[in-house]
Structure formats: structure tokens, C-alpha cells
Amino acid sequence: MILLSVLTVILGVSLVYGLSLELKTENSTQPGSSSTPSPASWPPFGYSYLLVFAYNGDNQSAISSAFVQASVTITGPENHNGTTTTDPQNPLRFLLAPGQYSVLGTYGSAVSQNVTVKVTAGGICDAFLNFSSSPVPLFGHILVTAWNTNEQPNGGFVSYRAQASVTITGPEDHNGTTGTDPKNDLIFTVTPGEYSVLATYGSASSQNQTVDVAAGSVSNAEFFFGNAPLYPPP
């Protein structure tokens, strides 16, 4: 009986130590590794953004006034509801697993609109619900991310998303702030053309990039600040 009790205690201690070691190893930052996912892993876990816009260009003199609030239901591998916005720079967005989705929109007494979109991993997909007889204008996107990467005394590095102030100039001019959460990345919806993207972060030197935006595509502007601005390869 005493021998059985001793064996039970030893087994319990070994199990606790093993679990503790496993948790410590999983949560520790090793030299040469990052405390955040590599930029190449955006969006997280293979998910993608679905941006939903509702458009009513009838009797509107400006494109910016033609975006309306519509009730939206999406069905597919995931089911969600939401309401579109009147600001194309702040559209209704969903972070979704890959797959085919049906996007149904209702707006006042207008005929309901339904579109089918195929969401692929690691990108941005658009769903335009057109409640008018006017064609939807052509748009593209600029995805802006900023990172603060710093070397550590042990030879490793720590990298995290930074809130940088961003100004884009070109066919359209806009301002925004990059997000620290991949679910809230800074995305500009703009007419096609060449844009200058200026990013500032704290006391670091400002950085500028030029991107070409094509209709229906995404152009990336990625900025690296800190004392190790070049992100190590994954």
C-alpha cells in the first residue's frame, strides 16, 4: 500500500513537470524568433477579408455619396450578419475561412441583391451589392501594415505591429492609422492609379513607398521601423 502511494506521487509529479515544461517551451520566445507571426502569415491562420459594399449611384453627383447602408447576410462555411457603411474607407468587413459564400443584401424598398464570392486564403475579396441602374465604379485596395522590430542582447529579436500614421496621395487622398491587430488592418479602397504612401512612427524617420493600384486587386505597402528594420526570413 505504501509502495503504491509512493508510485502515485512520483507519477503525479512527473506529469505536472511534463505539462509545465511543454507550456514553457510553447510560450517562450527563442533567440532568432519573433513574438508575432511573420508578415507573410497575414491574414492570420489562412483566413481572408471579405469587404462588402452597397452602392446606389442613381441621382448621385459624386461617387463618395453613392454608398448606402444595407442589411447583409452571408452564408457559407460561416454565417454572419452586418450592415454596410456609407464610407468606402470603412467598409463592412468579415474575416472568413476560405470557401464559397452567398452575400444577400437588402436596402429599403429596392430589390434584394445577391452575389456569390469565392474566398481564397490570405487575401481580400470584394462583394459589391448594386441597388441602382448605374454601374459600380472600378476600385482597388491598398493594404498598409507597419512593424517595429528590435534586436535583443541575446541575438534574437522582438517584432510587433506598430500604429503608424499613414497618408496616401494620388487620384484620391486619404489618411489612416495602421492596426496592431490583424483583424483591423488598414485598408484603403481607391480608384485605380499610382499612389504615394507615407508612414510615420514616433521619432523614427518617415518612410515612403509608391504603389500602383489596379481595379479589383490589392497593392501592399509594408513598413519596418526599429533598430532591426529588415524582418528576418521565416
pLDDT at 100: 96
Distance (Å, rounded) from C-alpha 50 to C-alpha 186?
14
Q: What is the pLDDT along the chain (234 residues), one digit of tens a residue?
A: 444 444 343 444 343 333 333 322 222 222 222 333 344 444 555 788 899 999 998 866 667 678 999 999 999 999 999 999 999 888 999 989 999 999 999 999 999 999 999 998 877 899 999 999 888 888 999 999 998 887 777 777 777 888 999 999 999 999 999 988 777 789 999 999 999 999 999 888 999 999 999 998 899 999 989 876 565 444
Domain identity same for 81 and 149 = no
- The verdict on residue 24 lying in a domain is no
| Domain containing residue 170 | 139-225
57 and 120, same domain (yes or no): yes
Q: Is residue 49 part of a domain?
A: yes
Backbone torsions φ then ψ of 41, nearest 5 degrees: -90, 0
pTM of the full predicted structure? 0.70
Separation CA 71–CA 73 (nearest Å): 7
CATH number at residue 143: 2.60.40.1120
Is 189 within the bounds of a domain?
yes
